[in-house]
Structure 1
């Protein structure tokens, strides 16, 4: 125990990664169960569903490879987080398809997975927040650059956002 009350704990910065792995494990268990997906339906339905869960973990992991130290890295990170969100939405559609086929599916098992996926989407959307680049905007000594949640480059006054740009000194060679 950390000694911190649960109500005072912050969400871990990487909870979306551990949640993605938990979703993948749960999907693998469900799709391997003959009571959920009979063998006749596995190739057409279970295999793509398992691949979608794998893709969530892949995109979350790929997003983590880009530290948002530049606008390119911030945009790439957001791109992979957005792809992970799209995979979560696809996973929900795959589960809905299995239920619509009319298989004797225990809806409670899918409900638990659906709750996990909804939580993952919420965490991933929270991870796509603004990224401050701590670089000074051209032509200004008081504004800093950032990438907003839509992926657009922008700037704001450093005093308004409590971000301090790194000092840069021009390199001059003396003779």
Structure 2
């Protein structure tokens, strides 16, 4: 069974009213993924990086952030998380924006949603804060594909380990 951590980035939310975090948690749990930690931080690069690295230390298979992926000045999630990723999965952001375009039109262009692997090879997704965007990403992209991505990276790690000896 896989484990996940959820990081909500918001200046206004608390765990009591974090509807997107609740939705992500519910959808992951329904798909047999255990939530091992869940936090909320302000839209601040250092706070986001600190919380992300703390979640990374708990060794989840998946880390999902929600919020701060737009182009407003306060949207700093991508600036904070991208340097912590060693491999980006470009197709995730591309597909997410394409699906979103069909749902919300050209406003989808402002989304910087992305996925990748951090330096511990944990699968990381940075999602917008909107409920609909989170539901779309989980239903259409994350749930159908996360097992394959984790499988591919675990095989690569085994190969790397075998070649090292």
Could you state the TM-score of these two structures normalised by the residue count of structure 2? 0.31
The one of the two structures with greater contact order (alpha-carbon pairs below 8 A, sep at least 6) is 2
Could you state the TM-score of these two structures normalised by the residue count of structure 1? 0.30
Where is the strand percentage greater, Structure 1 or Structure 2? 2
Structure number with larger C-alpha Rg: 1
